[in-house]
């Protein structure tokens, strides 16, 4: 799937919470507010769980999550709602609820949103028009779970020192991304020697366009395309960074592009 990156392409939500009380229940709490409270509560629990999940797995090399990579075919959206252009919005998928989830946004929350059924991209203002598909990039444009990557890191005995959201500008189809700081063998002293960046794009056209731009950037030799992601690595331990990218490139559905 280059704290803040130095490469590519990303958006802000909009739209009010539906504050209409439930019919026939005088004085009932607005449905939208209930959804917002529920999402904030879930995010707090998710953030704590992710901390235990991520840092615990770096110590013992166990699985980074109970989710299986077999779930990567799950798609967002469907007949239950319309897109961002109007129509019914699933409860918890309105702009204010998505905004609330962003307060503690990490890969764990991203996986939770993946299972929510909210339309992709989550933010109404993100670029979906533009870019150009590259037929030579055979990677299917589909959602993937970040748990797949963290399971791989645990299997490779790479200790996680920190996980943060990338600060790339949300333009040119970039929806969000994460940087994970790693140390082979375990992050004992808190000093990372490998950086793993995963960026997720709104459309195949923007993903493919960004892949070409990354390969032209200085210091980038290879990019792995996997689902909606572009994945790069770098670090003081160049051999470990290259080996990690090779392992991710060997995942089912991944395509490695060399500059």
The reply to whether the predicted model has a pTM over 0.85 is: no
Q: Where are the alpha helices (DSSP H) in the chain?
A: 31-60, 95-102, 107-114, 146-155, 204-216, 238-249
Q: Which residue has the tokens 């070409």?
A: 212
The mean pLDDT value for 58-64 works out to 40
The mean pLDDT value for 59-65 works out to 39
The mean pLDDT value for 239-251 works out to 98
Q: Which pLDDT does position 104 carry in this prediction?
A: 83
Whether 213 shows a pLDDT value over 90: the answer reads: yes
Q: Which residue has the higher pLDDT, 28 or 135?
A: 135
The mean pLDDT value for 190-202 works out to 97
Specify the length of the chain in residues.
259
Residue 103 pLDDT level (bands cut at 50, 70, 90): confident
- Whole-angstrom distance between the N-terminal and C-terminal Cα of the chain? 17
The mean pLDDT value for 243-254 works out to 98
Model confidence pLDDT, tens digit, residues 74-102:
333 333 233 443 344 556 687 777 777 77
In percent, the amount of the chain with pLDDT more than 70 equals 64
Whether 71 shows a pLDDT value over 50: the answer reads: no
The mean pLDDT value for 48-70 works out to 41
In percent, the amount of the chain with pLDDT more than 90 equals 50
DSSP 81-136: S--TTSS---TT-SHHHHHHHHTT--HHHHHHHHTTTPPSSSSTTS--S-----TT
Model confidence pLDDT, tens digit, residues 155-191:
999 999 999 999 888 899 999 999 999 999 999 888 9
Residue 20 pLDDT level (bands cut at 50, 70, 90): very low
Q: Which pLDDT does position 15 carry in this prediction?
A: 36
Q: Which residue has the higher pLDDT, 170 or 113?
A: 113
Q: How far apart are CA 170 and CA 182, in angstroms?
A: 25
Whether 41 shows a pLDDT value over 90: the answer reads: no
Whether 51 shows a pLDDT value over 50: the answer reads: no
């Amino acid at each position: 799937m280059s704290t803040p990156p130095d490469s590519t392409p990303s958006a802000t939500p909009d739209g009010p919470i539906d504050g209409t009380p439930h019919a026939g229940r005088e004085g009932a709490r607005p449905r939208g507010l209930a959804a917002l409270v529920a999402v904030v509560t879930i995010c707090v629990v998710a953030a704590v769980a992710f901390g235990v999940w991520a840092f615990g797995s770096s110590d013992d090399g166990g699985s980074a999550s109970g989710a299986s990579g077999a779930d990567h075919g799950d798609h967002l959206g469907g007949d239950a709602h319309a897109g961002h252009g109007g129509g019914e919005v699933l409860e918890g998928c309105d702009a204010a609820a998505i905004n609330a989830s962003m307060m503690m946004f990490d890969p764990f929350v991203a996986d939770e949103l993946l299972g929510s059924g909210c339309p992709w991209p989550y933010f109404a203002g993100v670029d979906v028009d533009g870019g150009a598909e590259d037929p030579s990039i055979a990677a299917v444009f589909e959602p993937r779970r970040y748990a797949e990557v963290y399971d791989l890191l645990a299997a490779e005995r790479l200790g996680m020192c920190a996980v943060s959201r990338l600060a790339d500008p949300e333009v040119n189809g970039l929806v969000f991304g994460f940087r994970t700081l790693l140390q082979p063998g375990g992050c004992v002293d808190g000093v990372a020697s490998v950086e793993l960046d995963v960026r997720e794009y709104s459309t195949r056209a923007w993903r493919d366009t960004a892949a070409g731009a990354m390969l032209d950037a200085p210091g980038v030799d290879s990019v792995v395309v996997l689902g909606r992601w572009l994945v790069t690595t770098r670090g003081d331990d160049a051999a470990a960074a290259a080996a990690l990218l090779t392992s991710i490139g060997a995942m089912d559905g991944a395509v490695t592009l060399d500059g």
